[in-house]
Structure 1
Amino acid sequence: MSKKFASEDGSFKRQVSSFRETISATHPIYKPEKGRYWLYVSLACPWAHRALITRVLKGLTSVIGISVVHWHLDEKGWRFLPYDDSNKPDDVSFTPSAELKPYDELSNSGVENHSIRYGTDGTIDHNYHFERLSQLYFKSEPEYSARYTVPVLWDLKTQTIVNNESSEIIRILNSGVFDKVADPHPDIDLLPKELESEIDEINSWVYDNINNGVYKTGFAEKQEIYEKEVTNLFKHLDKVESMLKGRYETLKTTHFSEEDILKSFYLLGNQLTEADLRLYPTLIRFDPVYVQHFKTNLNTIRSGYPYIHLWLRNLYWNDKAFHDTTNFNHIKWHYTRSHTRINPLSITPLGPSPNILPL
């Protein structure tokens, strides 16, 4: 796939999401019900990763089902694994409560862009047996003409897309509208009122300069634009590092061990918030992919940012919602084999090894 991601001036422009509805008890159409809604996701996509993490954190794995697209993105967009009625794949009986296969270190040898391994390369479309995510978009809006992005929050009752903007999907899932039907889970609010303004402020510069900053760097098609974007990206990573260093030093005055510190080691307050959730998917991909693939190589997280590195490993190793939704195979295969304009030979680097260091 040699698709251009940059505009004529050589800079990356992100598409604006099209479907922006919500779910609430007072909504005239989209009301909270168990089994009514479905998430379509990619394990490689950081925007979809936010929704997957939130789904687990809020106890919604038996409330909202998921289908996972194949990691390879071709010129027609995302695809599902094929459904054959005469030879039904193993995951046809997939239920909303089913968990994804845990990540393991698979060799890159023998992995092809058209590999079909159910539960490893992706899943079928459990609801309509569609071949392509695009078919879902056209089912919802026959005249749709933009890109077919993930995540998609789908309503099985009206058979339409409720929302395809990840920042809004995670707020829908966090809002508490599904609390009556949710699984037992820690009482967590990712957007507490007393921190909302600070969360929004952090999200605004993290999104533009880090979440999207890695893409603006990696998809730049002129040297001067690349240098401008990569410099700006690391300027804001420095800002995150300074924030986390301050948090650590403050916690050290009231906690007796690092184990105790890590229980409260987040960007804001002493609790996990949406600010952590929205930063994590970018930074967990940083060393394994972005450093080499997007040329964000002024430094690495593990070598140059000790407090970010500790924060990242704490989330990954100490919280199943983060650990179990992070699939390094999908992440590395997708970027290195889908962006042939950047990596024309589609060779996937073996390193770094390991993808994330122990805590």
Structure 2
Amino acid sequence: MVATDQDDKSGKGEFKRSASHFADRITADARDGWPVEAGRYRLVINRACPWANRTLISRRLLGLEDAISLAVTDPIQDERSWRFTLDPGGVDPVLGIAFLSEAYDARERNYPGGVSVPAIVDVPSGKLVTNDFQQITLDFATEWTDLHRDGAPDLYPEALREEIDDVAESIYRDVNNGVYKAGFATHQETYDTTVRQLFARLDQVSQRLATRRYLVGDTITEADIRLFTTLVRFDTVYHGHFKCNRNKLSEDAVLWAYARDLFQTPGFGDTIDFDHIARHYHQVHTNINPTAIVPIGPDLSSWLTPHHREQLGGTPFGDAEAPGPVPAAEAVPPTGRAA
């Protein structure tokens, strides 16, 4: 989603995240008119965005790289939003467009909303299919199964879905969205309430994870993916930039070990670009950081230190297998900020 997407009509200085306007689904039975089909669609992400990061992790764990191609936008937006300036000539080589807004316009001109990632675009027509960040990964796990790699994990096992949904909903409300509500709050009371709710939920999650390796069951599920993408950004941007500073992630022994465990698991840390994360938040949110100065820290080397979470039992993928190496074209380039 667009990080500055807010529409406060309450007068309370509250951040309001807009619902996904394009909520079509790509399904095995094509009930929304969009069939699962290898090579037909392009996933557009920004590596700074936690919601887009979810789709990238899910796609990698399930081995969908050959089934749905990947476009990565510049971490810095201009007035036309997400742009393909990382590609030669500033044009996406598959879609042939310079701005993601062109795919939105091809679907519906002058629609009431911002241009957000993640987005899936239909390559033949150039039209946006969906920007429903909550549903995309669930459909990757359940509707794209015929295109999963051999040995792919079940990230949304049917027997655990109710528990996964319950855990994920509270994490979304108070953690994933909570950091944004804190960062964009314009009234002290709203900020205070939001930050207390955020850390109350993090404390609860920390207690849950003190005796179990993963949030639900004995292997990685959709719930872990959703929590990880906020945790991995916490000390780099949310702690200081969004004023979520009761404590750092690295000061909570349980959550810090859990986050490092996932970071060191294939499919998680290899999707993270700390340089894009730091530059996007600090240089785009000029209402929060008017100087656009990007902090030099924190030290990222500790992400690779031992976590000892294996002592709690469970394995990342159970009877499934870890994904192979990152495709060369999708590897995060080394930078001074990389762990």
Work out whether residues 47 and 166 of structure 1, in 8 Å CA contact, stay in contact via their aligned partners in 2: yes
Report the counterpart of residue 256 of structure 1 in structure 2. Answer: none
Report the counterpart of residue 215 of structure 1 in structure 2. Answer: 180
From the superposition, tell whether residues 82 and 200 of structure 1 become closer, same or farther in structure 2 (CA, over 3 Å). closer
Q: How high is the sequence identity, in percent, across the aligned residues?
A: 37
Report the counterpart of residue 258 of structure 1 in structure 2. Answer: none
From the superposition, tell whether residues 324 and 244 of structure 1 become closer, same or farther in structure 2 (CA, over 3 Å). same
Report the counterpart of residue 218 of structure 2 in structure 1. Answer: 270
Q: How many angstroms does 1:356 deviate by?
A: 4.7
The correspondence for 1:286, drawn from 223, 226, 234, is 234
Which amino acid is the alignment partner of residue 61 of structure 1? E
Which amino acid is the alignment partner of residue 13 of structure 2? G
Q: CA offsets, 1:87-118, max 9 Å, x none?
A: x56xxxxxxxxxxxxxxxxxxxxxxxxxxxxx
> Equivalents in 1 of 2:5, 2:301: separation in Å?
28
Report the counterpart of residue 49 of structure 2 in structure 1. Answer: 45
Question: Over the residues paired in the alignment, what is the CA RMSD in angstroms?
Answer: 1.8
Q: Does the residue aligned with 1:292 lie in a helix, a strand or coil?
A: coil
Q: Does the residue aligned with 1:321 lie in a helix, a strand or coil?
A: coil
> Equivalents in 1 of 2:278, 2:257: separation in Å?
22
TM-score normalised by L of structure 1? 0.79
Larger deviation, residues 286-295 vs 151-160: 151-160
Which amino acid is the alignment partner of residue 135 of structure 1? E
Q: How many angstroms does 1:160 deviate by?
A: 2.5
Long gaps (5+) in structure 1: 90-122, 248-264
> Equivalents in 2 of 1:152, 1:298: separation in Å?
34
> Equivalents in 1 of 2:111, 2:205: separation in Å?
38
Q: CA offsets, 1:149-205, max 9 Å, x none?
A: 000012223433222111210011111x43434444x33111111111111111111
TM-score normalised by L of structure 2? 0.84
Report the counterpart of residue 69 of structure 1 in structure 2. Answer: 73
From the superposition, tell whether residues 285 and 356 of structure 1 become closer, same or farther in structure 2 (CA, over 3 Å). farther
Is 1:148 aligned with 2:125? no
Which protein has the larger Cα radius of gyration, Structure 1 or Structure 2?
Answer: 1
Larger deviation, residues 28-37 vs 280-289: 28-37
Q: Relative CO higher for 1 or 2, CA cutoff 8 Å, sep ≥ 6?
A: 1
Report the counterpart of residue 136 of structure 1 in structure 2. Answer: 103
Work out whether residues 45 and 150 of structure 1, in 8 Å CA contact, stay in contact via their aligned partners in 2: yes
Report the counterpart of residue 294 of structure 2 in structure 1. Answer: 348
Q: Does the residue aligned with 2:297 lie in a helix, a strand or coil?
A: coil
Tell me the number of residue pairs that the alignment of Structure 1 and Structure 2 aligns. Answer: 299
Which amino acid is the alignment partner of residue 286 of structure 2? T
Work out whether residues 6 and 18 of structure 2, in 8 Å CA contact, stay in contact via their aligned partners in 1: no
Work out whether residues 73 and 86 of structure 2, in 8 Å CA contact, stay in contact via their aligned partners in 1: no
From the superposition, tell whether residues 355 and 236 of structure 1 become closer, same or farther in structure 2 (CA, over 3 Å). farther
Q: How many angstroms does 1:78 deviate by?
A: 1.3
From the superposition, tell whether residues 282 and 160 of structure 1 become closer, same or farther in structure 2 (CA, over 3 Å). same
Taking the TM superposition and a 5 Å limit, the aligned residue runs for 1:275-354 are 275-303=223-251, 305-317=252-264, 319-354=265-300
Q: CA offsets, 1:38-70, max 9 Å, x none?
A: 101100000000000000011011111011111
Q: How many angstroms does 1:128 deviate by?
A: 3.1
Q: CA offsets, 1:217-252, max 9 Å, x none?
A: 0000111111111111100000100100132xxxxx
Report runs of 4+ in structure 1 exceeding 3 Å deviation.
3-6, 177-184
The correspondence for 2:199, drawn from 234, 249, 258, is 234
Work out whether residues 5 and 16 of structure 2, in 8 Å CA contact, stay in contact via their aligned partners in 1: no
